[in-house]
Copies of this chain bind each other. A is one copy, B any other.
């Protein structure tokens, strides 16, 4: 049996049915194996970067792993930004890179070890990707293949998941192997953390004693595929729930005890809840500074913070934020054990939940006067309508910067909907290829891609992939004619010197209407509020790609937003000090007067 055929057989056994790839000299033997099986197919993309992002999204959608195949050198290095997306967000993916023949490579022959390059397009992709993968390995001989595939896919999925790279010399790709004689990788099933049950009892006591508890849901719940267990867990309590960005689709926005998204771009309600709480149970969140604010010690500073995280390095990363109880566990084990052993808790301080719910209604993100805006489309009004029209099982993938933030603030995510972005890496250009990958992961399902005018250009070449696969991806480009989040930063901190962020300073958009049509994709535009519902109704339900350009004010701000240095309860625009004080049940800190200089 040919080694390449063996690899495809392995991928099929892992339920991967689609590989994202570009062929090339050093990977052509592996790609040739697709001619000998119908159980797995491939999607040709136009840039390897997009392949890695498609695979990342495919993994997020699917039950399992994903895979890319690319050639050596630039094929491999082009993957890196996509690999980093999977690394920071803990997404399992296998990247198979072709390499020069084993006898040609650096160090294979005497005197060649220190040469910059020996074989054609030879590049040390293993060293380059080590810092952003769980495992990065160049095959040393063909007989290792079973061991290495098993090890790589195990490591990609075990513990805190992540991407892996397997680099395979060309000559090995066509080597004969005897599958029966290959060595296997032995792994131990990870044990449940020894203190878990003790900690659960502790946790229960703490919640019972607390007066103003809050539960914070993070992306780790999704990574451990514990969505259903979470639901049973939440039935045990009737407590205020807040979410991080990656946890936003874990709970229906309209659920009665859901308060909102927390953090720098969060809702006032969710931030008041956390900052007034006396106990914060964090489930699967690394408590990034986008959540805690720039000064982590000001976060939940009146609360006993309990964090459940599979990665003990995240539990030790305090940066001033003190964790009262660290539970180092897989979220799945956590829920299983808690749900089995603990009864529904009756919680006496009903005022607390009421207060949180009051904040949610008192401080809505979407304000009535947004709908009255005459010139341009109001971005918050746009997301209001989009929310209303999206079906329950929709998948929404947002890019980064302004449009990600607006989407997270204003979309009312329904139960069953999936919403994600490459949160930790946050590259421009993720959402569009990710939407293609997500659609292909689910039999060409509809996917809503929320993008910006700056970021859509990064992977615009994939319009061709979209068109040739005729996927019902709806590309929504929120156009503010420049880099919105940078403009807001420059307005605030750099005296409106918009270097490299606006058309006058060299950042120009192409004519998206012409570009879209050139690729044979339907173009639509929303110029003003009154266009929103009409255009969305027309485009969301078609069974083909649609491009929807939403023209918003070039200086549209993110509202509210934390000014650097403030604690998260004090979002800008600042409330009157009287109103602010009324919302703080506990002592607040003075906000920094020298917000910017101090940092």
Chain A residues with a Cβ under 8 A of chain B:
21-25, 28-29, 31-32, 34-35, 42-44, 46-47, 49, 73-74, 77-78, 80-81, 84, 87-88, 101, 104, 109-112, 114-121, 123-124, 127-132, 160, 171, 286, 288-290, 311, 313-314, 316-320, 424-429, 457-458, 460-461, 463-464, 467-468, 483, 485-486, 489-490, 494, 497, 499-501, 505-511, 514-515, 517-520, 599
Do residues A112 and B25 form an inter-chain contact, with CB atoms below 8 A? no
Q: Report how far A494 CA is from B129 CA in the complex, Å.
A: 31
Q: Report how far A527 CA is from B427 CA in the complex, Å.
A: 40
Do residues A518 and B520 form an inter-chain contact, with CB atoms below 8 A? no
Distance from A35 Cβ to chain B, minimum over Cβ atoms (Å): 5
Question: Of B78, B121, B425, B519, which one neighbours A510 at CB under 8 angstroms?
Answer: B519
Q: A28 contacts which chain B residues (CB < 8 A)?
A: 486, 489-490, 494, 499
Q: Could you show 14 A-B contacts with beta carbons less than 8 Å apart?
A: A24-B486, A29-B494, A32-B499, A44-B507, A46-B458, A47-B457, A73-B84, A77-B84, A87-B116, A88-B117, A115-B286, A115-B313, A116-B311, A120-B289
Nearest neighbor of A461 in chain B, beta-carbon distance: B457
Distance from A503 Cβ to chain B, minimum over Cβ atoms (Å): 9
Q: A101 contacts which chain B residues (CB < 8 A)?
A: 599
Distance from A83 Cβ to chain B, minimum over Cβ atoms (Å): 8
Question: Of B23, B34, B115, B290, which one neighbours A486 at CB under 8 angstroms?
Answer: B23
- How many copies of this chain? 2
Q: Report how far A286 CA is from B494 CA in the complex, Å.
A: 49
Do residues B132 and A128 form an inter-chain contact, with CB atoms below 8 A? yes
Do residues A500 and B44 form an inter-chain contact, with CB atoms below 8 A? yes
Do residues B74 and A497 form an inter-chain contact, with CB atoms below 8 A? no
Q: Report how far A104 CA is from B518 CA in the complex, Å.
A: 45
Q: Which 4 A-B pairs have the closest CB atoms?
A: A74-B427, A514-B518, A111-B316, A44-B506
Nearest neighbor of A87 in chain B, beta-carbon distance: B116
Question: Of B115, B288, B313, which one neighbours A317 at CB under 8 angstroms?
Answer: B115
Do residues A42 and B506 form an inter-chain contact, with CB atoms below 8 A? yes
Do residues A132 and B121 form an inter-chain contact, with CB atoms below 8 A? no
Q: A78 contacts which chain B residues (CB < 8 A)?
A: 49, 81, 427
Do residues A486 and B25 form an inter-chain contact, with CB atoms below 8 A? yes
Q: A501 contacts which chain B residues (CB < 8 A)?
A: 23
Distance from A119 Cβ to chain B, minimum over Cβ atoms (Å): 7
Question: Of B46, B73, B119, which one neighbours A425 at CB under 8 angstroms?
Answer: B73
Q: Report how far A464 CA is from B453 CA in the complex, Å.
A: 12
Nearest neighbor of A170 in chain B, beta-carbon distance: B599
Q: Report how far A289 CA is from B112 CA in the complex, Å.
A: 13
Distance from A319 Cβ to chain B, minimum over Cβ atoms (Å): 5
Distance from A23 Cβ to chain B, minimum over Cβ atoms (Å): 4
Do residues A500 and B131 form an inter-chain contact, with CB atoms below 8 A? no
Distance from A37 Cβ to chain B, minimum over Cβ atoms (Å): 11
**Contact A44 B486, CB 8 Å, known A123-B132, A464-B457, A518-B515:** no
Q: A428 contacts which chain B residues (CB < 8 A)?
A: 74
Do residues A46 and B457 form an inter-chain contact, with CB atoms below 8 A? yes
Do residues A464 and B510 form an inter-chain contact, with CB atoms below 8 A? yes
Q: Report how far A550 CA is from B461 CA in the complex, Å.
A: 20
Nearest neighbor of A462 in chain B, beta-carbon distance: B457
Q: Report how far A461 CA is from B311 CA in the complex, Å.
A: 39
